[in-house]
Amino acid sequence: VDGKQISSIGRGLCVLLGISLEDTQRELEHMVRKILNLRVFEDESGKHWSKSVMDKQYEVLCVSQFTLQCILKGNKPDYHMAMPTEQAECFYNNFLEQLRKAYKPELIKDGKFGAYMQVHIQNDGPVTIELESPAATVDPKQLTKLEKQQQRKEKTRTKVPSESSRERNAPRNKDDPSASSGAEGDVSSEREP
């Protein structure tokens, strides 16, 4: 952060945590259990997928990563599903506290919430595993109105274009000042990472 190293670990897990608007204490507790008990390390005899971070007494580095809650609107990232900053910071600190209670506090490290960070990860294997709490599984009955609209838009894009959309997609003259490269749009968010 700001050119200074604020945290580091040796062998262990790097957890990139995306906090959703819908996350609760229940999801937090589930993720803490999963992270600490996930068998991704080899045992003493070299057998893969046998030991957890706790079994090996390894470290855990946590980084809050709201961009994991991204939903694409065309080519533009939308972060409306990420928990607002103030709530997310409290949730993240509670997550760290629960990890420290369930394991060894000195082996749980973190970045700086809300800061622009350069994170250097040496991914051994490489092994990257996406974890979601059971409540995060997609149930069509629980989709928000916006997500349903997004799904309808995606389905519509796969259909044959109508006459008017064919006209819109017709090639434009390079010398035409109103021609667009298709690279319009801003991928920034109102929140800083």
DSSP designation for 83? P
Token match 């945290």: residue? 7
Contact 82, 19 (CB under 8 A): yes
Report the run of H or E that residue 61 belongs to, with start and end: strand 59-64
Token match 């259990």: residue? 33
Kindly list the distances between the CA atom of residue 54 and the CA atoms of 16, 60, 137, 155, 173, in Å, as whole numbers in the listed order: 18, 10, 27, 44, 62
Report the first-to-last Cα separation within the chain, whole angstroms. 12
Alpha helices, DSSP H, located in the chain: 25-37, 53-56, 85-102, 145-157, 163-168
Report which residue type is found at 174. Answer: K
Residues assigned a catalytic role: 67
